[in-house]
Amino acid sequence: METKACGRAGAPLFQLRDAQVVRGGRTILSVDRFDLAEGEHVALLGPNGAGKSTFIQLLTREVFPLHRDEPPMRFRGQARPLLSDIKQALGIVSATMHDQVRVHLPVIDIVCGGQFGTLGLPRHVDVDDAVRAKALEALDRLGIVDLSERDVMTLSTGQVRRVLVARELMSDPSILIFDEPCTGLDPEGMYHVRNTMRLLAEEGRSVVLVTHYPEDIIPAIDRVLLIKDAQVFADGPKRELLNSRTMSDLFGVPLEVEQHEGWYALRGRY
């Protein structure tokens, strides 16, 4: 995969400095310092309402931080990046996107739509063979090319989630944001989505994962950013932070963390 650099050479992919988001007179997120390098992966973990989605929206420029003389957010070193540059670099897979799949369209149209930024194909657009071939290749990489002609509404939740990943691959993103990608999935669906994250990380794309569960954190993601009460609770290597004490403090209940061959699991202690 080629990195589509549009900023200063050597600059971090994302840089946050004293970034504060206020809504309704309340600070819903405050980040002193955060850098993410090109190709680096990170998992955001924290309780409901902690500020994880707000953090992602800061990166995607869907929310803006309070004004500072020193710009609170930089993308590839640029304080005023073009939204189109960010959108071009990013692929986002979320349950929210999944909820929008309520149309009877063939899977191939949904995936080709990724080329045009639409859910299906825009009216009066004839998809050429190259776009179609690219969509089939994306579906093949996710192991679901045999579903290409199926009505997307007839697929399982896990299959749709993979179709949406394939759709994001149409723009060859250098960063993939997975926002609670395994919510609502059965173990088979979870297996495939986690495996997909693994493949994309291996291709050198940055994977940014938002989750409530350490089980989603694929071994390739070494760094975790723990968010609690609108603040960064901790930021560092998962081997130092994914332990019973830190997870219990983060979620405010007694939890036990287990680790096996680079995969982590969380269970309650009663």
Ligand X SMILES: Nc1ncnc2c1ncn2[C@@H]1O[C@H](COP(=O)(O)OP(=O)(O)OP(=O)(O)O)[C@@H](O)[C@H]1O
Regarding 105 and contact with ligand X (CB under 6 A), the answer is: no
Residue-level length of the chain: 270
The tokens for 251 are 């979620």
Question: Given the rule CB under 6 A, which of 22-30, 110-118, 143-151, 184-192 is the region that contacts ligand X?
Answer: 22-30
Regarding 228 and contact with ligand X (CB under 6 A), the answer is: no
With CB under 6 A as the contact rule, the residue among 15, 54, 196, 206 that binds ligand X is: 54
Collapse the DSSP code of 131 into the 3-class scheme (helix H, G, I; strand E, B; otherwise coil) and give the result: helix
With CB under 6 A as the contact rule, the residue among 16, 36, 50, 165 that binds ligand X is: 50
Question: Given the rule CB under 6 A, which of 47-55, 88-96, 115-123, 134-142 is the region that contacts ligand X?
Answer: 47-55
Regarding 4 and contact with ligand X (CB under 6 A), the answer is: no
Residue 250 C-beta: closest distance to ligand X, Å? 12
Query: Exposed, middle or buried, 252 (CB in 10 Å: 0-12/13-18/19+)?
Result: exposed
With CB under 6 A as the contact rule, the residue among 46, 113, 120, 173 that binds ligand X is: 46
CA distance 73 to 78: 8
Q: Are 250 and 233 in contact (CB under 8 A)?
A: yes
Nearest one of 167, 144, 168 to 156, comparing CA atoms: 144
Residue 178 C-beta: closest distance to ligand X, Å? 13
Query: Measured at the alpha carbon of residue 230, what is the angle toward residues 226 and 232, in degrees to the nearest 5?
Result: 35
The tokens for 37 are 């390098």
Regarding 122 and contact with ligand X (CB under 6 A), the answer is: no
With CB under 6 A as the contact rule, the residue among 5, 6, 28, 97 that binds ligand X is: 28
Task: Tell me the backbone φ, ψ of residue 133, rounded to 5 degrees.
Answer: -65, -40
Regarding 84 and contact with ligand X (CB under 6 A), the answer is: no
29 or 147: CB nearest ligand X: 29
Residue 10 C-alpha from the chain's centroid: 23
31 or 107: CB nearest ligand X: 31
Strand ranges inside the chain, DSSP E: 14-23, 26-36, 42-45, 73-75, 90-94, 175-179, 206-211, 223-228, 231-237, 255-260, 263-268
Regarding 52 and contact with ligand X (CB under 6 A), the answer is: yes
Residue 182 C-beta: closest distance to ligand X, Å? 13
Regarding 22 and contact with ligand X (CB under 6 A), the answer is: no
With CB under 6 A as the contact rule, the residue among 14, 43, 51, 241 that binds ligand X is: 51
53 or 246: CB nearest ligand X: 53
Residue 87 C-beta: closest distance to ligand X, Å? 20
Residue 145 CB coordination number (10 Å): 16
- Summarize as ranges the residues that interact with ligand X (CB under 6 A): 23-24, 28, 46, 48-54
